[in-house]
Amino acid sequence: MKYMLLIYSPELAWTHDEWTACTIASGKICQELHAQGRFIAAAPLHPVATAASVRVRNGTPLITAGPFAETTEQLGGFFLIDVANLDEAMATALRLPSAQKGTVEIRPVAHLEGLPPDHFDQRATDHRDHSRYMLLCYDDEQYWNKQGPAALQAAHREAVQLAIHLSAREHYVSASPLHPIATATSVRIRQGKRLVTDGPFAETREFLGGYYLIDARDLNDAIAIAAQHPGARVGTVEVRRIVNLPDSQ
């Protein structure tokens, strides 16, 4: 099963040295997971100060600076792993250095038929004029429950079309919906003790329902792509630039 590990921590709690040490330690875990065939992708994100949030209402894109939700702890990075079950995902999450300082939210990735295959090569860094972005799609689950399965399927078809379109233009890296928020598990370590909670890191009305990883020329380009996501018409798409690490793949 595929899992997305979302790392939340207060950005200000890290000194530059701590951040670097954490990145190196995380990199080692990535290599280990890779050797075991469990690694898909991982990266830190640029601080939320560089984020943009995109909504489309009545056909008009509304762009705001900053993240989707103002919280004291921010999404600072992610791991995408392929392991046997939740126990293995939890064991991996608890090993991450960030679990000591922040919280790791574990989300099972849902399967969506028709998505193009992942494309995690170094395209973004090879082309100096491109950067890699993560589009975080926040949805109101209750809205979709009310609309019924047909509406959700139509939105999924549209999302697949967008992925295929991006793939054709070499913008596509990876995308997937996540299982509903009720399947989330959050873990952290405090004073050497594991703390496991049923549920997401933060209780908000809109939850992370899926993601796209894309290569785009710049933030404007990434925002334009985000505005085409069907979820932007109902929820919010947060655009976050990924930190390119020399050995993050």
Output 99 or 184, the one with its CB closest to other proteins.
Answer: 184
Q: Find the helix or strand (DSSP H, E) in which 207 lies.
A: strand 207-216
Applying CB under 8 A, which part among 12-20, 38-46, 117-125, 179-187 lies near other proteins?
Answer: 179-187
89 touches other proteins by CB under 8 A = yes
Q: What is the distance between the alpha carbons of residues 26 and 245, in angstroms, rounded to a whole number?
A: 11
126 touches other proteins by CB under 8 A = no
Output 66 or 199, the one with its CB closest to other proteins.
Answer: 199
141 touches other proteins by CB under 8 A = no
Displacement of CA 140 from its chain's centroid (Å):
17
Applying CB under 8 A, which part among 11-19, 138-146, 169-177, 194-202 lies near other proteins?
Answer: 194-202
Contact with other proteins (CB under 8 A) among 84, 113, 128, 246: 84
182 touches other proteins by CB under 8 A = yes
180 touches other proteins by CB under 8 A = yes
Q: What is the distance between the alpha carbons of residues 52 and 198, in angstroms, rounded to a whole number?
A: 29
Question: Tokens 């405090």 identify what position?
Answer: 190
Site for other proteins in 1-30 (CB under 8 A): 1, 3
86 touches other proteins by CB under 8 A = yes
Contact with other proteins (CB under 8 A) among 16, 17, 35, 87: 87
Pairing status of strand 131-139 against strand 236-241: antiparallel
DSSP 8-state symbol, 118: P
C-alpha distances in angstroms, 150 versus 76, 85, 92, 153? 34, 30, 36, 5
86 Cβ partners below 8 Å, 6+ apart?
1, 3, 106, 108, 185
For residue 104, the minimal CB distance to other proteins (Å) is 12
Q: What is the distance between the alpha carbons of residues 8 and 48, in angstroms, rounded to a whole number?
A: 11
108 touches other proteins by CB under 8 A = yes
Which spans of this chain sit near other proteins (rule: CB under 8 A)? Answer: 1, 3, 84-87, 89-90, 106, 108, 110, 179-180, 182-185, 194, 196, 198-199
